[in-house]
Structure 1
């Protein structure tokens, strides 16, 4: 049985070198080789353009917000495009009126509205309470909104260090999420209250590389009171 490492709280984790990853979504645009469309298997622009009015997109762990800026240049003026990132844009370029760039922890921040599209491109790899964020994000969706994120079940462990991925994926699917093991993508259609039967314990920033080849965070849980959004 593996020995669990010392676990960090959210503030401690966010000060670690692994989470302060300045390359996350810094150059990724809307379309092309290094793009949101390729990573998500869906064009955010096409999805938002299909909305009848005032399309809205929340991008968690948005980095420089390049994709949001590109979308703002094409979508209607009343579009609402919100990016949340722990570090925020490193290059101080004024954002278009439709784009709101928020520097905050996605583990603590909460929006005041719902969104047609919520994305998190490879951002969950650096979040301690991944399940808690997924549950909260489900409540941020419009009734017919779409959530898309990358998720690695191998990063989720029980208190004793044993793997919890299979049980976690089963619980997520029971709550309405769909998961593609091939693409490491998780999705949800329609905003809702999600409760998952795991209690968050803390995170390990020394978990090592995940399927992306980059160092990632290990998230530890115990079966217990359901997570609340």
Structure 2
């Protein structure tokens, strides 16, 4: 019989060393070797092109470099929103189209929809990963795109047994696509989604995931 891990709440998780010291996505730019385009396999500016007042929400945005670079290439009526638990560590002048919000993505909710929602390696440090994905699905505009890195191996039952395969099956049944090669989930268009999982807590000591960096284990019944 497996020994049940000691799980923590969202508040305690965000105070843990694995989350507080996370530098996974702080320095990525829009294009190039270390970039959103490379990590997500999407030409993000092309997706936003030719839209009236294009909008992009980046969850776990780090320094916000990708959005800052996009601001110079998008029209003046674009709406760019960066949400991060600690925000930029080296704040600089903010483009007028960019709003930087310091908040927990586990509880923050927007007041509008977005043409693009991204979360680059951010879910690895969130307790209720499935909850955030289902909430974000409802924040998309009519033909919006949600794309995020997701590690099914981090989804567990309370006794520690794997639940990743069941999670992927449920996400796909709700309209998400999952690429095991790239560890990415994507969704086109808004959805109201209810998954057959109830979040019970997180394990900040789950150890390294496929990136080689320490990550969080998410537990569900």
TM bin (shorter chain): over 0.9
Change (3 A) 1:158 1:22: closer
Residue aligned with 1:197, SS: coil
Match of 1:46 in 2: 46
Match of 2:167 in 1: 168
Aligned-partner Cα distance in 1 for 2:51–2:62: 28
Residue aligned with 1:18, SS: helix
Match of 1:225 in 2: none
Count of aligned residue pairs for this structure pair:
221
Match of 2:29 in 1: 29
- Superposition map of 1:127-142 within 5 A: 127-142=126-141
Structure 1 residue 63: deviation in Å?
A: 0.3
Cα pair 1:58 1:118 within 8 Å, conserved: yes
Structure 1 residue 46: deviation in Å?
A: 1.6
Residue aligned with 1:170, SS: helix
Aligned-partner Cα distance in 1 for 2:89–2:38: 24
Aligned-partner Cα distance in 2 for 1:168–1:83: 27
Cα pair 1:24 1:61 within 8 Å, conserved: no
Aligned-partner Cα distance in 2 for 1:214–1:203: 17
CA deviations 1:28-81 (Å, max 9, x no partner) are 0000000000000002112112x4211000000000000000000110000000
- Superposition map of 1:1-229 within 5 A: 1-49=1-49, 51-222=50-221
Structure 1 residue 22: deviation in Å?
A: 4.4
Residue aligned with 1:26, SS: coil
Structure 1 residue 150: deviation in Å?
A: 0.2
Q: Could you tell me the TM-score, scaled by structure 2's length?
A: 0.98
Aligned-partner Cα distance in 2 for 1:170–1:23: 30
CA deviations 1:9-33 (Å, max 9, x no partner) are 0001000000113423221000000
Aligned-partner Cα distance in 2 for 1:165–1:22: 23
Structure 1 residue 2: deviation in Å?
A: 3.0
Aligned-partner Cα distance in 1 for 2:2–2:189: 38
Structure 1 residue 153: deviation in Å?
A: 0.2
Aligned-partner Cα distance in 2 for 1:22–1:173: 29
CA deviations 1:103-162 (Å, max 9, x no partner) are 000000000000000000000000000000000000000011000000000000001110
Q: Could you tell me the TM-score, scaled by structure 1's length?
A: 0.95
